[in-house]
Amino acid sequence: MKVEDTQITAAIVKRFMHDLLNSLELDVAVVGAGPSGITAARYLAKSKAKVAVFERELHVGGGMWGGGILFPRVVIQDPAKRILEEVGVELQPTNGGYYTADSVECVSKCTSAAIDAGARVLVGLAAEDVMIRGKRRIAGVVLNWGAVEAARLHVDPVGVAARVVIDATGHDASIARVVQRKIPGARFPTRTGGVVGEQPMWADVGEREIIRNTREIYPGLVVTGMAANAVFGSPRMGPVFGGMLLSGKRAAEVALKLLRKK
């Protein structure tokens, strides 16, 4: 069969425009496709919420691919292991009651399961701002191409409406920081009223605190994963990933509760 370049271009434009147009009004917009964001999206989609994940890089997975010091294996502890088992990741028991998993398998299977459940994952799109409506409630995210952000081009962004936004941007906590910077008088339920900043590595404390930190910090804005620990001033954890997965699941539960309330 003859291959026409213009037809290929037209097919890509049509398909992507269709998918983007279908993502303009969401129940939940997840910013960041690391382990916490992808897990949140899978549980939300399983519960029939209309959810899309926006990721600034061209790849999903965030900090999970590289495991510890580029040995692509991660460590998971018991309650979180079920989340990986659900998507078919092979876990091997190791000392101390932990399990190890192949990080490439984790990212691939978690992402695939989220998409199969109905979540849309759009890469190359960065959230640079939020939308506010009514009595100062987050009403969506403002997106631009990740490449535009990287090249620092002056290109105006587009808006996506969402009833709940989940900040799953990892160590940057970039959506929480936008809210803090741009909304006068915005206060978070942290000890400073703002983003406290992540503390040095202490896996045990970080893993315990992350679940408590996964919550709504401003009307319509939920934080998860390392973003939650950065907002509340809890430690980072290094290559133990159970907390990220459990936090993603918790973020989905918090978001579903908010959707039911509204």
Short-list 88, 59, 84, 87, CA closest to 74: 84
| Whole-angstrom distance, CA of residue 247 vs CA of residue 161 | 24
Closer to ligand 48F by CB, 11 or 150: give it: 150
Q: Which stretch binds ligand 48F (CB under 6 A): 51-59, 88-96, 102-110, 130-138?
A: 51-59
Q: Which stretch binds ligand 48F (CB under 6 A): 43-51, 88-96, 152-160, 233-241?
A: 233-241
Q: Which of 80, 168, 251, 258 binds ligand 48F (CB under 6 A)?
A: 168
Q: Which of 23, 174, 213, 234 binds ligand 48F (CB under 6 A)?
A: 174
Short-list 55, 71, 79, 56, CA closest to 104: 71
The mark string for 211-230 relative to ligand 48F (x by CB under 6 A, - otherwise) is --------------xxx---
Q: Does 140 bind ligand 48F (CB under 6 A)?
A: no
Confirm if 107 and 74 have CB atoms less than 8 A apart.
no
Q: Does 255 bind ligand 48F (CB under 6 A)?
A: no
| Whole-angstrom distance, CA of residue 71 vs CA of residue 100 | 12
The mark string for 115-134 relative to ligand 48F (x by CB under 6 A, - otherwise) is -----------xx-------
Which residue shows structure tokens 């460590």? 75
Q: Which of 23, 103, 144, 169 binds ligand 48F (CB under 6 A)?
A: 169
Query: Is 257 strand, coil or helix?
Result: helix
Q: Which stretch binds ligand 48F (CB under 6 A): 109-117, 189-197, 232-240, 249-257?
A: 232-240
Confirm if 223 and 15 have CB atoms less than 8 A apart.
no
DSSP code of residue 239: S
| Whole-angstrom distance, CA of residue 203 vs CA of residue 220 | 29
Q: Does 56 bind ligand 48F (CB under 6 A)?
A: yes
Q: Does 237 bind ligand 48F (CB under 6 A)?
A: yes
Q: Count Cβ neighbours within 10 Å for each residue of 101-130 and write b for 16 or more, e otherwise.
A: bbbebbbbbbbebbbebbbbbbeebbbbbb
How many of the chain's residues bind ligand 48F (CB under 6 A)?
A: 30
Q: Does 55 bind ligand 48F (CB under 6 A)?
A: yes
Q: Which of 27, 28, 42, 62 binds ligand 48F (CB under 6 A)?
A: 62
Q: Does 236 bind ligand 48F (CB under 6 A)?
A: yes
Q: Does 167 bind ligand 48F (CB under 6 A)?
A: no
DSSP code of residue 127: E
**H/E segment holding residue 238:** none
Residues making contact with ligand 48F (CB under 6 A)? 31-37, 54-57, 62-64, 126-127, 168-172, 174, 225-227, 236-238, 241, 244
